[in-house]
Amino acid sequence: MAAQQPPSGTGIGPLAFAIGIVVLLVGLIVNPLVVAPLGGAITLLAAIAWARQGGRTTGPIDEATPRPPTQATSGEERYSRSRLLERATLALGGVVGLGVALPAVGFTVLPSFLGQRQRLVDLGPMSAFPEGQFVIATFLADPQAGEVSRRSAYVRNNGFVGNEPSFTIMSSRCTHVGCPTQPNGLIFTRRGHRERTHTGEVALVPTQPSGFGCPCHGSQFDNEGNRTAGPAPRALDRYRFSIRHGHLWLERRYSVSRVEGTGAQARIHAFALKGAGEPATGPESWFYPLDPS
């Protein structure tokens, strides 16, 4: 008489494995720290479940029909052809998945942990920046790269806070797609001059802005860099600075969500440097990959 064993079917192992691969690959793009590990965990658990399921037998078992002796009668497990092929396919799929995932992980995640080379820029003596006035400083971020590295920054001397000098130094690049902004106001080109510094020549041009604007897509910013209109997702980026032997030196850039107050008394909501178009706060900021430090 034949005893019927409940069929296990193919189960959800292969489907969960496929879903895990999709979540893993999407996570490498949108959020390598949260979504990608989740996809990896789903893939791993599904692979284990799939492999364990492959060893189960399905279909009717006829207890009345004698079976020829096999290796299983001596206590050794015998692999069926279907089980061998299934596990070989699973292993091959894992190798292919790693081959696809590892390069993507390397290009997406590693630059954020390894960091980028940051070149300091000497903007010239502090006396070149009158207190309370904006000056457009134009310089080469990397002289070896040439004109492609030419940048501008809006520099305002805020005077002293105690014994420490205070400067507001904002990047001229719009935070929408990186277009160069310009002051909304007078630019005193004829009063400009050039300074030869330790890191190259710097052009300094005084300006009297009433905010800053992007002529390409219409984003507008006030004198502290806060976004006031347009598609930009955050305030203008800023530079850290230091004073060395009476000279003003530019250091790393950082991103800003907003600024409360003005000048030396401003409260700056600072973040690690974000890419163009990336918001610094809010749920939408979770859907962007890691940025190089």
Nearest to 143 by CA among 225, 198, 74: 198
- Find the mean pLDDT for residues 144-148: 89
Is pLDDT at 15 greater than 70 in this prediction? Answer: yes
Closest CA to 79 of 59, 55, 48: 55
- Inform me whether the pLDDT recorded for 199 exceeds 90: yes
CB 171 within 8 A of CB 138: no
d(CA 44, CA 22): 13
- DSSP calls for 183-203: EEEEE-GGG-EEEEETTEEEE
Rounded to whole angstroms, the Cα distance separating 66 from 146 reads 85
| Start-to-end C-alpha separation, the chain | 71
Using alpha carbons, select from 187, 193, 236, 222 the residue that is nearest to residue 208. 187
Whether pTM > 0.75 for this model: the answer is no
**Which helix (H) or strand (E) is 208 found in, with range?**
strand 200-213
Q: 26-82 pLDDT, tens per residue?
A: 877 777 777 878 888 888 888 888 777 765 545 555 555 555 555 544 445 566 777
Q: What is the pLDDT of residue 8?
A: 47
Give the domain 121-287 fold. Answer: Rieske Iron-sulfur Protein (2.102.10)
- What is the distance between the alpha carbons of residues 227 and 222, in angstroms, rounded to a whole number? 7
Place of tokens 């939408």: 284
| 147 vs 127: CA distance, rounded Å | 27
The CA-atom distances, in angstroms, between 253 and each of 37, 62, 271, 284 are 30, 75, 10, 22
